[in-house]
Structure 1
Amino acid sequence: MTGDSVVLLVDDDPEIVESYQEQLNETYTTRTAFSGEEALDELDETVNVVLLDRRMPGMTGDELLELIRDRGLNCWVVMVTAVEPDLDIVALEFDEYLIKPVSSSQLNDVVERMLTREELDAQIQQIVEIGSKLATLEAKLDYDQLQESNHYRELREEFSQLREEIEVTEYEDDPYLEATVENIDALLPNL
């Protein structure tokens, strides 16, 4: 998951970008940009996570974030900024918000959380697809037909295995992950 992951570091302060790069380079592939305009040149479908400053001359981080979302780029965006959050963040479509200064462990933790969410989202899509098939079969076939079907048993087993993989106890401090698991359990209680 992490070795091939690309993190784009966007900040107008070269010292901050260099510091972040040093802290993340061992685990991730990093790209750098010192302005919103440069970041647009670096952004493509291979970028998994963007660490983005809000205050930059020219294009602000808020404006860049809006362009990222408008372009439909499938990446996680973490605002890493000295700007204290206010009601103005309600309209911003970021995934997490960190206040500078940030430690090496905070940077690594937030990137890892974003990548875990990425992996979890793919698992969720798969489990919902299988759950939908199971629900359809259970609504259309009687109990004996289901018990005789190898395909049904295989789907149930695959569903159970995926459900076990989605246990994210090591990320209990991440409200997104906890809510996601709770939503799966609520949506698919009988499976």
Structure 2
Amino acid sequence: MSNSDLPVILVVEDEPDVADTYDRWLQEYEVHRAETGEEALAQLDETVDVVLLDRMLPGMSGAEVLTEIRSRSIDCRVAMVTAVDPGFDIIEMGFDEYITKPPDREELRETVARLLHRATLNGDLQEYYSLVARRATLDATFPERQLEANKEYRVLVEQIEVHRAAVDDAMGDLASDADFIGAVREIMDTTNETEAPHDEEFTESTK
């Protein structure tokens, strides 16, 4: 439960020193903490806006926690913050950002700000962002030849194109919403370059 009107950030991290650092960096938010997946799920409710989730946790893994979050249909954004290098298994994970430890202060703060902004978008656009984040993470990790040889990666690319078409259709229904159209075009332009969406530019387009 939230005790204020501030955005709620749930930090799921089993190393107290690391969690303390995140807490200091995010003082403008209401920060909740959990050291295990079970503790995180016990705290999770509709007041949580962003989850910073470690993959390596005692007992229930971060991937299992993420699966449970999505199965509950809780409307929060999730960033994996982990020392585990991404592999092709992340294609099936429903995260919104993937950060490799250790993040610096600005990277963590900018990630939280981006995810809070994404929470204001419609479901199709949020899903599009999530798929693109997974592709961008893999693009930054593996050589092109290895990506093209992976069937799951090729399916991911196809899913992104399907969602692009759906978002494009939505633009037609929202022709009077110039901010929305500008934001979507910014995402599409960026993904044409096979990079993750630049949310700093996204934010500028929606001011």
TM-score bin, normalised by smaller chain? 0.5 to 0.7
Percent identity over the alignment is 44
Distance 1:30 1:38 in 2: 14
Alignment of 1:47 onto 2:32: no
> Which residue type is aligned with residue 98 of structure 1?
I
Structure number with larger C-alpha Rg: 1
Q: What is the Cα deviation at residue 61 of structure 1?
A: 0.4
**C-alpha contact (below 8 Å) 1:10/1:50 kept by paired residues:** yes
Match of 2:67 in 1: 66
Distance 1:164 1:72 in 2: 27
Which of 3, 9, 17 is the equivalent residue of 1:15? 17
Q: What is the Cα deviation at residue 164 of structure 1?
A: 2.9
Alignment of 1:164 onto 2:179: yes
Q: What is the Cα deviation at residue 176 of structure 1?
A: 7.4
For structure 2, list consecutive stretches of 5 or more residues without a partner in the other structure: 127-168, 203-207
Change (3 A) 1:70 1:33: same
> Which residue type is aligned with residue 24 of structure 2?
E
Alignment RMSD (CA, Å): 3.3
The size of the alignment, in residue pairs, is 149
SS at the partner of 2:94?
coil
Q: Deviations over 1:57-90 (max 9, x none)?
A: 1011011001101111111110000000011111
For structure 1, list consecutive stretches of 5 or more residues without a partner in the other structure: 135-158, 181-191
Q: What is the Cα deviation at residue 42 of structure 1?
A: 1.1
| TM-score (norm. length: structure 1) | 0.67
Alignment of 1:119 onto 2:120: yes
Match of 1:185 in 2: none
Change (3 A) 1:19 1:163: same
Q: What is the Cα deviation at residue 117 of structure 1?
A: 1.1
Distance 1:102 1:29 in 2: 20
Distance 1:30 1:121 in 2: 25
Distance 1:176 1:38 in 2: 33
